[in-house]
């Protein structure tokens, strides 16, 4: 019988409330594991991915927060158009063993667009792309997949894509395109609102248009209401600040894959609301 690989993908982490939500959730998994009084107890996930481009006060990722999240057991960090917002990114992105930036930035850009990880005697490739509809100009993600996927799949049977894009139609089309290339999963990020369209495309590729976000529950996609309202009512640029709240939400998807073929076996949404005011973080 072929082994099943279980993967957790955590949606965009937004600021301190998002980091706290993830810390509480992953800490709870470890506590649950430790209470199993059996030698056969297993971790619930073999591999954990999280989008971290908004993890440091909503814009970018500092090296301090990178290291904090790594200590929680997150194996791979994906990102998006905000990954460059904290300038210390340039000092450590080339040295990180788990952070990737969108592959379709021009050649010569700091960092790398994909990584391959050894997991439970198999390999998982994680790729990151930016969409091009309503986004700043970038290279074609479609051409990169066409030109590179066969080489990557020779090394890693499981291939997971974070497609960081604005338009739902572009995400859906890219998911179908990737399923034709036997990519194991395409997970949409960027819009911060979890969609209810998880499915397996062509009996192979796990897909969801957006995984959602982790952050303050009473917020506008993680940001404070007043600043968002003022900007939308006046069309005048307004500083966005993270909404501070003890009530947080975590959005993620869990997936399982055949370790040999890379074929997706399941995809399930996770959405948790929690008051963590009395939790020690």
Please choose, from the candidates 268, 212, 221, 263, the residue with its C-alpha nearest in 3D space to the C-alpha of residue 240: 221
Domain that holds residue 235: 4-274
- How many whole angstroms separate alpha carbon 32 and alpha carbon 266? 23
More reliable by pLDDT, 29 or 15 = 15
* Residue 74 resides in a domain: yes
Give the pLDDT confidence score for residue 237 in this predicted structure: 84
The share of the chain scoring above pLDDT 90, in percent, equals 88
Q: What CATH number does the domain containing 80 carry?
A: 3.60.21.10
* Residue 61 resides in a domain: yes
Task: Give the residue-averaged pLDDT of 183-200.
Answer: 98
Start-to-end Cα distance in the chain = 41
Lowest mean pLDDT across 92-96, 128-132, 197-201, 245-249: 245-249
Task: Give the residue-averaged pLDDT of 24-44.
Answer: 65
Question: 179 near 157, Cβ under 8 Å?
Answer: no
Encoded tokens for 116: 């391959």
**Does residue 38 register a pLDDT over 50?**
no
Task: Give the residue-averaged pLDDT of 235-243.
Answer: 88
* Residue 281 resides in a domain: no
* Residue 161 resides in a domain: yes
Give the pLDDT band of residue 239 (cuts 50, 70, 90). confident
Please choose, from the candidates 9, 10, 97, 90, the residue with its C-alpha nearest in 3D space to the C-alpha of residue 55: 10
**Does residue 238 register a pLDDT over 90?**
no
Task: Give the residue-averaged pLDDT of 158-172.
Answer: 98
Give the pLDDT confidence score for residue 4 in this predicted structure: 97
The predicted-structure confidence for 79-108, as pLDDT tens digits, reads as follows: 999 999 999 999 999 999 999 999 999 999
* Residue 155 resides in a domain: yes
Q: Single out the catalytic residue among 24, 82, 190, 192.
A: 82
The residue to which tokens 């066409």 are assigned: 146
* 24 is an active site residue: no
Give the pLDDT band of residue 14 (cuts 50, 70, 90). very high
**Does residue 111 register a pLDDT over 50?**
yes
Question: How big is the CA angle at 22 (ends 79 and 188), to the nearest 5 degrees?
Answer: 35
The predicted-structure confidence for 121-156, as pLDDT tens digits, reads as follows: 999 999 999 999 999 999 999 999 999 999 999 999
| Domains contained in the chain, number | 1
**Does residue 278 register a pLDDT over 80?**
no
What's the predicted TM-score (pTM) here?
0.94
Give the pLDDT confidence score for residue 245 in this predicted structure: 86
Give the pLDDT confidence score for residue 40 in this predicted structure: 46
* Residue 176 resides in a domain: yes
- How many whole angstroms separate alpha carbon 212 and alpha carbon 221? 9
Give the pLDDT confidence score for residue 240 in this predicted structure: 87
The predicted-structure confidence for 44-89, as pLDDT tens digits, reads as follows: 999 999 999 999 999 999 999 999 999 999 999 999 999 999 999 9
* Residue 120 resides in a domain: yes
* Residue 280 resides in a domain: no
**Does residue 39 register a pLDDT over 50?**
no
**Average predicted confidence (pLDDT) for the chain:** 93
């Amino acid at each position: 019988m072929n082994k099943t690989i279980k993967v957790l993908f955590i949606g965009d982490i937004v600021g301190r409330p998002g980091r706290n939500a993830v810390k509480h959730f992953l800490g709870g998994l470890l506590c649950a594991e430790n209470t199993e009084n059996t030698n056969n107890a297993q971790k619930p996930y073999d591999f954990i991915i999280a989008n971290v481009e908004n993890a440091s006060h909503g814009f970018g990722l500092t090296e301090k927060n990178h290291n904090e999240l790594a200590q929680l057991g997150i194996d791979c960090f994906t990102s998006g158009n905000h990954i460059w917002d904290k300038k210390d990114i340039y000092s450590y992105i080339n040295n990180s063993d788990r952070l990737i930036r969108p592959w379709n930035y021009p050649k010569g850009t700091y960092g790398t667009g994909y990584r391959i990880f050894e997991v439970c005697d198999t390999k998982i490739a994680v790729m990151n792309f930016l969409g091009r509809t309503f986004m700043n100009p970038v290279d074609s993600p479609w051409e990169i997949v066409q030109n590179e996927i066969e080489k990557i799949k020779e090394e890693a049977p499981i291939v997971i894509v974070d497609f960081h894009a604005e338009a739902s139609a572009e995400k859906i089309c890219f998911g179908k395109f990737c399923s034709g290339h036997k990519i194991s999963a395409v997970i949409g990020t960027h819009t911060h609102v979890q969609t209810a369209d998880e499915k397996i495309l062509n009996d192979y590729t796990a897909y969801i248009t957006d995984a959602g976000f982790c952050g303050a529950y009473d917020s506008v996609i993680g940001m404070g209401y007043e600043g968002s309202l003022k900007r939308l009512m006046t069309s005048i640029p307004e500083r966005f600040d993270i909404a501070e709240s003890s009530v947080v939400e975590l959005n993620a998807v869990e997936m399982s894959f055949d370790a040999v073929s890379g074929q997706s076996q399941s995809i399930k949404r996770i959405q948790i609301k929690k008051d963590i005011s009395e939790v020690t973080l």
